[in-house]
Structure 1
Amino acid sequence: MSSIRTEGFQPVLLPSRADSTRVTPQPAESVPEAPKKPSPKPPAQWNILMYLAGDNSLEQALVQNVIDLEKVGSTKAMNVIAQLDRGPHPSQKSGAWANAKRFYVTKDDDDQNINSPVIKEMGNLNMSDPKVLTNFIVESAKDYPSIRTMLVIGDHGDGFKGAAADDSTGGWMTTPQIKEAIAEAEKITGKKIDIVGFDACLMASSEVAYELKDNAKIMIASEESEGAYGWSYNEIFGERVFRAIRKLVTHKLDATPGDLAQMVVSTGEQNQKDIPTLSAVDLSKMGQVGEALSGLGEAILALEDKAPVKSAFQKSNGFGGWMGGDYLDLYDVADALSKSEAVKSDAVKQAAEKVKESLKQAVFAEEHSTKYPQAHGLTAYAPTYLSSYSDDFKQYQDLAIAKDTKWDETLKAVAEAKGAPGEHGSSPGSGSSPLYPHDDFQSPFGPFGMFPWRDGLPLPY
């Protein structure tokens, strides 16, 4: 379709035939054009959103995480945005500035200080408030458009109980609240989070994955406790890895969430000193896991004698050490039930096999150190002491998996079952793992140092 340009001239009335005066068009006054709007910046392939709740004992470690991120920085294809809360009483690290700031992470070689430009001064922020997490996701999506988004929550974690502690307020973000925050962000932006990662302990939980199944595509987390400095960002998003991403962009238009998740897990395998277990879960498969788990629960509930089930639980690989050890590798639990000579029910054995098959579909990338031969990527809460279950019963019932399946009723029935109480074993593969699974595991406070506390109990890392 063509158009006629008329800029620079005004229309002139032609004379009638009776008018002998010759009239010629005259140039119009020069009219300045309206300033052109700048072309919108093309979206990056990825936004990496780092939500670092450091108003607690992990403040120094999370500051160091941002410094490590600066060794890589953002690129045209990848925006790295970090929101870090240090609380009102920070350490002396990196200038001892207080409260929360949001950074656009840029590359530099200073290994002592955060030098990235500040996007926003946040003040004394409660990072355990789900509305704060929603705001971070929404504003980052608005200010830095991207095709894909990976959200990483970095702080203390405690399996199905949630993650992100705020000492100033005494706050703690529960798993349903994490879901609430991400769901609200999706409602506002119209975009689902591609990957949600937990740089926090014990979060590779079937309960957490089930909770988030409708609000993110992939989850990356660790079954076991992490070392203080968490994911090796400089390795995950270093030059070697980004070269691989660039190759993917060239040949496949963009790096898919699955590509990036597999890369994160394989890089974790090179850092087992801090991360002894790491897995990536296809959240679209968690509905099938929930159905299989519900079927197993119903089969167990039908048993008159549940003591053999309790015994199988106690022999399964657990995580969290002396802090409880009630997070058991779900595949290992199902495997123990399917192979147990003491469990006579074919229904239980068949249901256990279905759980194993569903987990094979859901967990598509997984790594573990040699200390964890029976780690398969997802835990399930399975206490064998009634007192332990009673303490957590109310909070567990708030979970989607408890509302949708029979697993919560099953846990109560197994915990109440008669039989030898039985302690978990002291080594991985025979009950619960130790808190520090091997000699070079890096605790934030040394091998036997002080631990952070919440509600009168020690927090995992």
Structure 2
Amino acid sequence: MKKHLLPCLLILILFSLPITHALPTINVYVNDERVDFVDVSPYINEDNRTMVPIRFISEALGATVSWDGTTKTVTIIKGDITLKLPIGSKEITVNGLVYSVDTPAVLVSGRTMVPVRFPAEFLGSDVQWDGATRSVLIDSSVPPLVDDFTLLIYLNGTDLESAYDDESGTYSGAGTSDLNEMLAAVSSDKVNVLVETGGTSTWVNPSIDSTQNQRWSVQNNQLTLLENVGISNMGDPETLSNFVNWALKAYPAKNYGIVLWNHGGGPITGYAVDELFSGDGLILPELEDAFSAVRSQSGVVFDFIGFDACLMATLEVANTLSPYADYLVASQELEPGHGWDYTSLITSLAATSDYSGSAIGKSIADGFFQQAVDEKTESDVTLSVIDLKRLDSINTALSKFASDLSATLIEDAKLSSIAQSVSKTKKYGGNSSDQGYTDLVDLSLFASNLSTYSPEYALELSSAVDEAVVYQVSGPINDAATGLSVYFPYLDQDNFTASLAVQAQLDLPTSFISLASEFAGKLTGSAPLVERMDEIVVYEPTEYSAYYELVVSEDLLYDIDKVYIGVYEYLNGDTPRYRNLGYDALTIFNEETSSYFEQFAGNWTLFDDHPIMMKISYSDYDHIEYEIPLLLNDERVVLEAVWYYDDAFASGGYYDIIGARRPNDQVTNMPDRNIILLKAGDKVQPIYTSYLTETGLYQEELGQAFVYSDQSKLTYDVLQSTDYLFNFMIIDYSGQVLETDFYEILY
């Protein structure tokens, strides 16, 4: 038996040893000669930077290296170039000038490890990454790199450029307008600005050919054509990656940023549409394909990726792009048509030496907001600068938070209160049948509103978002915005299945994806609210109360999210009908009686004395946001307006008209980026939905047209007619609506 002991012992030892998987070797070549590292090998760190022992690389490039143990600083000298790299610092000094880097030098087993690109390029060498062989290729024969920054702008013109206004006889020209801003900037010979144009049927700028994609340089107030690249679909990831790879190779620099210009629809709809290719756009997996191809070929990690587009400041977008950039610059809300201020952006790049994504992002945000103020579109704007290296904390907290909510959601009795908390959370983009629904909730506010069910992880999640959003701007309507959104199903129930299928493919914690699916299933499976009519009673005014009172059962009271008042104006004539003036928050809840009292006293919102159909899209403690359907110069739009509570006014507050937007595109479902500011001479015509008494049917009708003037405004005032009906409009936690009978009030 002893002769079997040794083999058995060997087998036992072999299976007891820890199993390790060696990472593929990273090779470094200087002028085609492989550099041998005797002890510490190159590696890729958590910031996706290739770290190498600096002495071997520097000496291979003909530089001398010294070490100051007191200050823990490496000094590299080659000719008239002196670099100083302090250990642990994100600032390096080159000939006395301080530059920001995103990864500091570190000590590993006595070797100073640095990100290879920075010192090699500062020493006048070209650095390339070969993803296929995992090799860093350094070439000192290339002329010294002098450019500090290369800015890429993917200018997909689409209808933002080509939309034609029959009344004025002009095209929208938003892309051309931003090109003009670029041309007005103060430039620098150390900053490259490269633009690819395409994606639209018409360019207002006569120099640009709409039949093909073109690449341009913007320098010294000149737009220079670099090359024609033929017709390409800007909704194809290969078109994007081809542009980026070309730019990085032709215009290498120490720092890079890219702006993706066009429509944005958030994580479910994606970014951009190319109107020459049936409205094809880039969904998030395609954006990842594009930037993955860039990273594989060049090894470049952008200082920032920015979206001059609507609704792209979401966790899904941030997670998707985190391997490819340090910062994301994007908006939670719809952007106004003028978008970013490119004069400010390019001028600031020419003047700065801080090319970090955070610094440039702040400059973009400040310039954008100031331009919005100048254009009078600042009311609801947002723009965030998000540190993509801080997403792990958000995803970890969200995962634990979602697990707690899922455990709570198992109890059907908790569904109502959870849903009502979701209802109260700010949602960006469309929030009505006229503008569509996005269901993009503010992530931190989502956590705060649902903190009852997971207090520890709600706080952890909100704190993580606050740390990741390093800078943001917002207008007064969105002053509570926290900088990052996420898709969570609530309003758009007709599209839950399709939207959740898209979300399931995105980079999110699995527990959150499961929570969204579970919540949507329970929400759509709720019992029909119309079957609960027997749980409500309406009492008419008495000598003790001048108002109608809505009393509901205890069970229904628990499920109610909101109670509004709907108002109808009776119109006699050839077609007797009740014209719907919409609904408003004109009820008061009495806690003692657990009932609702109407507060309709014959006043309504008037637009130059014309009653209009009001729809609430969001309400908070200090304001109510409305969407109002109407024709503007015979084109259907939704007028956005806000009521601010203010006791200094006799009416209890005042209205602010934000502007008008067209409905979502019927083909692409992209929201309208152009906010239309009303101007003197515009023709305005209200749209109503009327109830025909003879047939019992509803039909849409137009009200009396009027001309907008500089004195036009929304007011809360007395209605001129004398015959009105109103009803209570009950909305439950699942979004279902139950309307009571009509009640007549004579004024």
Asked whether the two chains share a fold, i.e. TM above 0.5, the reply is yes
Counterpart residue identity of residue 106, structure 1: Q
Partner of 1:62: 175
Contact 2:234 2:273 in 1 (8 A): yes
The yes-or-no answer on 1:104 pairing with 2:213 is no
CA distance, structure 2, for counterparts of residue 134 and residue 105 of structure 1: 20
User: What letter is aligned with 1:195?
Assistant: F
CA distance in 2, matches of 1:229, 1:138: 28
Distance 1:368 1:355, change over 3 A: same
The secondary structure found in structure 2 opposite 1:280 is strand
Alignment of 1:441-456 (within 5 A): 447-449=660-662, 452-455=665-668
In the alignment, which residue of structure 1 is the partner of 2:617? 426
Deviations 1:213-266 (A, max 9, x none): 22211000000001112101112333xx34651xxx2xxxx4322221222222
Structure 2 residue corresponding to 1:314, chosen from 402, 405, 423: 423
Give TM-score, length-normalised by structure 2. Answer: 0.50
Aligned to 1:288: 393
TM-score calculated relative to the size of structure 1: 0.79
1:44 to 105, 130, 147: 147
Mark the CA change 1:291 to 1:369 in structure 2 (over 3 Å): closer, same or farther.
same
Q: Distance in 1 between matches of 2:266 and 2:444?
A: 16
CA contact (8 A) 1:453 1:459 kept: no
Q: Distance in 1 between matches of 2:292 and 2:459?
A: 33
Tell me whether 1:355 sits opposite 2:461 in the alignment: yes
Partners in 1 of 2:562 and 2:519 — Cα distance? 13
Shift of 1:97: 2.7
Instruction: Judging by fraction of residues, say which structure has more helix.
Output: 1
- Distance in 2, matches of 1:292 and 1:432, equals 31
Contact 1:319 1:433 in 2 (8 A): no
Q: Which amino acid aligns with 1:78?
A: V
SS in 2 for 1:302: helix
2:444 aligns with 331
Shift in Å, 1:71: 0.9
Residue ranges of structure 2 left out of the alignment (5+ in a row): 1-61, 63-139, 163-172, 527-558, 564-614, 628-637, 643-655, 674-747
Q: CA deviation at 1:55?
A: 3.3
State which structure, 1 or 2, has the greater radius of gyration over its C-alpha atoms: 2
Classify 1:412/1:180 alpha carbon distance in 2 versus 1 (closer, same or farther; 3 Å). same
**Structure richer in strand, relative to its length:** 2
Tell me the SS of whatever aligns to 1:414.
helix
Change (3 A) 1:299 1:58: farther
Q: Does structure 2 retain, via aligned residues, the 8 Å contact 1:85–1:101? A: yes
Q: RCO (CA 8 Å, sep 6+): is it higher in 1 or 2?
A: 1
Amino acid at match of 2:250: D
Give, in whole Å, the separation in 2 of the partners of 1:279 and 1:122.
Answer: 33
- Does the aligned pair in 1 maintain the 2:273–2:281 contact within 8 Å? yes
1:459 is aligned to 671
Correspondence for 2:363: 263
Q: Tell whether the 8 Å contact from 1:293 to 1:405 is kept in structure 2 after alignment.
A: no
- Separation of aligned partners in 2, 1:397 and 1:209: 16
Q: Could you tell me which of 161, 165, 172 is aligned with 2:273?
A: 165
- Whether the aligned pair in 2 keeps the contact of 1:66 and 1:82 (CA below 8 Å) is no
Give the root-mean-square deviation of aligned CA atoms. 2.7
**Higher mean displacement: 300-309 or 357-366:** 300-309
Q: Residue 237 of structure 1 aligns to a residue in which SS?
A: helix
Instruction: Report deviation, 1:310.
Output: 1.2
Question: Could you tell me which residue of structure 1 aligns to residue 256 of structure 2?
Answer: 149
Q: CA deviation at 1:433?
A: 7.9
Matched positions, count: 396
CA distance in 1, matches of 2:198, 2:483: 30
- Bigger mean CA deviation after superposition, 348-357 or 425-434: 425-434
Correspondence for 1:234:
343
Q: 1:407 aligns with which of 504, 507, 512?
A: 512
Distance 1:440 1:155 in 2: 25
Aligned positions of 1:47-126 closer than 5 A: 47-59=150-162, 60-72=173-185, 74-87=187-200, 89-95=201-207, 97-98=209-210, 99-108=212-221, 116-126=223-233
Given residue 268 of structure 1, which amino acid in structure 2 is its aligned partner? F
Residues 448 and 351 (structure 1), Cα distance of their counterparts in 2 relative to 1, 3 Å cut: closer
Q: Distance in 2 between matches of 1:280 and 1:377?
A: 8
In 2, are the aligned partners of 1:165 and 1:173 still within 8 Å (CA)?
yes
* Aligned residues of 2:403 and 2:515 also touching (Cα < 8 A): yes
1:206 is the counterpart of 2:315:
yes
Cα distance in 2 between the residues matched to 1:194 and 1:226 = 23
Quick one: which of 129, 138, 141 aligns to 2:236? 129
Deviates more, 1:156-165 or 1:228-237: 228-237
In percent, how many aligned pairs have the same letter? 22
Decide whether aligned partners of structure 1 residues 274 and 106 sit closer, same or farther in structure 2, where only a CA change above 3 A counts: farther
Matched position secondary structure for 1:398: coil
Quote how far apart the aligned CAs of 1:426 are.
2.5
